[in-house]
A and B are shown apart, each in its own frame.
Chain A
């Protein structure tokens, strides 16, 4: 493992995340990807919205923008258009990126602006205290669905494939090596790259749904063994197929990689989009 401490703002610690939360693992994987690619630290811009996942930007020692709820892809679009040489990475969550910010996300994907989006999907609102999210499986107990969620959830990857994202991948927070590899791959992808990171929230999702602590939830989601998190995850998509019929359950890895013209706004010099 590489030493990624140099990419952390140690002066900003202790962090706000709960024990057992996978968000720290995700940040570590991202920093390792940056290290592998040897990106210039002052040319990396991390743009976040609001939520637990978005707080990660504050601890990473890059140019970091903690914006407003759901709008990170729009901030990132302006940033990238004005400074195309920056490596722009958006970190968002399921509530931030798919509820309040869903519109910005799909339009950024459609334009194929050259940014990377990490969407940490833990199927619940963590920062605001465990409310139901657009990716909460049916049946999820949340503070706003005490008798179980009755709304069908989004499949984030299907949504982004539909929106025209030129790179779409799903990784599990429980498999950090794979996660680092995919993140590095996505950062190098010319155009809009989307990664759904299947993560946990032991504090709320785990507690409300009796799915166990952080370690248990992650093993369940990674190993597809029985457990409440998996039973719920089986119902995570609108047109879900029970996992018994779809080995190995959650499809992970790179789901799409294609090359299409990268958006650079309307500018001089005959660039695309002019």
Chain B
């Protein structure tokens, strides 16, 4: 039998092995407690940063470690296998906040923020969503008005991951409201800027190890140097460049699904009813076989998108398909996992109920399933 991941390089297998070891020893043991307490384990940032994993895909001159998109997909799957919440906090930091700075930031911004951020000493957040703007970015109401050498920000942001713990934020604000999407710019806002405040932490159903807040800007004055990328075009540019989000979502979903699957496989072999392991009943066997297939299909779609990205090929369609398939498969797999665990999986102490609460979010974030289907339909010519 060939290894299912025979196409990975020696280094990628080693990366996977090293991450499994790290996640098994450092993340899995604290996942339940962080979920229960809605607390982000900040030390995970510095541990991953110290080992260079936060610098994956960042150039060496800003403190990065290099690496490919496929490496990144491997990282995401392994982190989410341990804790979807912890993975989410890392993701927002790396793939949104740091990636935006790296792609569009000024030299000063990069020199000041990236090395400590990639070491995990400074934490970033990405502030885009608002009470009135989710799928529809064009309705963003946070305003940034030019005033001399400054911009003055007013408005509020909702559902911001890492909000309570971030040292710096990338804020999407409208610099030209009539232009809607074409009037959105990105700003770097440091935690201690006067006029900026974290209005309060938000409590969630799942991914509870990640911390989330509402943010408020009241005459928050930032110098023009804090503008990231082109004025009025910053957000659209970022959509084109920060394509990793969908690959990451697919990988996260694969990781959570794999965690649920492995637990179920183990349980079905051990749990006996009617004098035999429940895994010997066809209904259960077939269900678990389906899980295995769906997980491998999810991973293959995800890795295909990542490999295309690494080869510089267009990969938008591939990433959309991977995200849609893997996130929906994950929800189905986790539902079956809970079902096959019976009452044991329904209990608070079981990790299965955590997976059940965690999985749904991947279908919502980074473009919901409806938006994915819409884009895929367009991409296939409808």
Chains A and B come from one and the same complex: no
**A interface, CB within 8 angstroms of B:** none
Show the binding face of B for A, using Cβ within 8 Å: none
